[in-house]
Amino acid sequence: MNINAISFLMILAMILAEIFILKTARRKKIPWLEIVANLHSGQVVLWLFRSVEILLFGFLRTHINVHWINQWPVALQWLFVFIAWDFCFYWMHRLHHKTPLLWSIHSVHHQGENVNLSLAMRNSWYSSLSNFPFIAVLALIGVPLEIFITVSSIHYSVQFYNHTALVKKSGFLDKILVTPSNHRVHHGLHPLYIDKNFGGTLLIWDKIFGTYQHERNDITPAYGINESVSSYNPLWFNHKGLFDFKKKHCSQVKPMYHLNLPDWFIGCVGVLLYSLMIFYVNAQDSLPALAEWSFFIILCLASISIGGMSDKKRWGLFVWIGFCSLFPLYVVVVLQLHSIALWIIFTSLALSAAY
């Protein structure tokens, strides 16, 4: 498996492990519909735009570069980029909350009403594009592309961990880093928590600029956004904010309940589709361009069909059954791929369609 596929596999394993612990050890009800929506909120569309972000960074560094940072000792470059990237993230994050257009993108992440590892995966399709203006300065001053990619990946890994529901307090780390406790404040709906703790890894920016708030034991946890999302469909909730900055019509959207599938079924097919995405990420380097893009589009349509089923729409189930029925033929005839993993996935798809 390639490194990207391994990363996705590890993410899925950690999310499922946390769910298992929350269910068995803490007797928590698992919000399967929201977890599946989180997993497939960005799907591969987000990663496509992440690639665009990296390409733009490389272009700026190659053609518009004042060559400041790349003249420094390598160790100093790494230290500077680690701190500078986090500083850029703080202001990017803060302005995404303060600017209506940027909030319409970032609000996708805050729609989740349960803070757990899956919420870290819930991001707008366009988040990498809206983030780019805030980190472009790093390319202009000469930050090497490989350092930028590695450091940003480290920070994103920390942010993934900060969404865990298993860690309550982290001792002295709560005073210097954005820990799970500090980040729960950021997602909180209590007035004392609104627009607080924008940092990604280091807490110093919030303390310097007056946006820090510690987690209080006397405040009942409540997360999400004030407006109802009314949908688990990634096609809808990725664009709802863009179509309506002020979200006037959200409370008027009433889902039609034509279908009643159990939450555990949505959870199973959601994990199954995520596993298929891992297979795609691992195989894409060996696929012709046409096959790669058609596979990409099929995965997007499948994630939308799960969103339809989560919203109790009959069309979601029909699309899913069509996907399960035709996908094996597509893989064998178009992609010409044959593996044990694929046959296991085929079998699971067939069982889910039969159900």
Domain hosting 280: range is 263-354
26 in a domain, yes or no?
no
Residues 176 and 280 grouped into a single domain? no
Domains identified in the chain, total number: 2
What are the two backbone dihedrals, phi and then psi, of residue 188, each rounded to the nearest 5 degrees?
A: -70, 150
The pair of three-digit structure tokens given for residue 42, joined into one six-digit string: 């960005």
Both 35 and 144 in a single domain? yes
**Residue 124's closest CA among 186, 38, 35?**
38
Is residue 155 domain-shared with residue 185, that is, in the same domain? yes
Q: Distance from CA of residue 343 to its chain's centroid? A: 28
Q: Percent of the chain, pLDDT > 90? A: 52
Residues 289-330 have pLDDT tens digits of 888 888 889 889 989 998 888 988 888 888 888 888 777 777
Inform me whether the pLDDT recorded for 355 exceeds 60.
no
**Residue 258 binned pLDDT confidence (cut-offs 50, 70, 90):** low
pTM: 0.77
Residue 138 and residue 81 in contact, taking contact as beta carbons nearer than 8 Å = yes
Domain boundary among 196, 216, 248: 248
The answer on 326 and 236 residing in a single domain is no
* Separation between Cα atoms, residue 139 and residue 148, nearest integer Å: 9
> What distance in Å separates the CA atoms of residue 186 and residue 351, rounded to the nearest whole number?
41
Shared domain check, 282 and 182: no
- Please count the CA atoms within 13 angstroms of the CA of 246 that sit on its side-chain side: 1
Q: Which of 248, 276, 294 is the last residue of a domain?
A: 248
- The Cα 56–Cα 17 span in angstroms is 36
**187 and 322 in a common domain:** no
Model confidence pLDDT, tens digit, residues 49-77? 888 999 999 999 998 888 889 899 999 99
Whether residue 84 is found in the same domain as residue 195: yes
Which residues share a beta bridge with 223?
Answer: 188
Domain ends where: 204, 220, 248?
Answer: 248
pLDDT of residue 353: 55
Examine the domain organization and report whether 148 and 215 are in the same domain.
yes
**Is residue 253, in this structure, part of any structural domain at all?**
no
Q: Among 3, 17, 12, which residue's Cα sits nearest to residue 36? A: 12
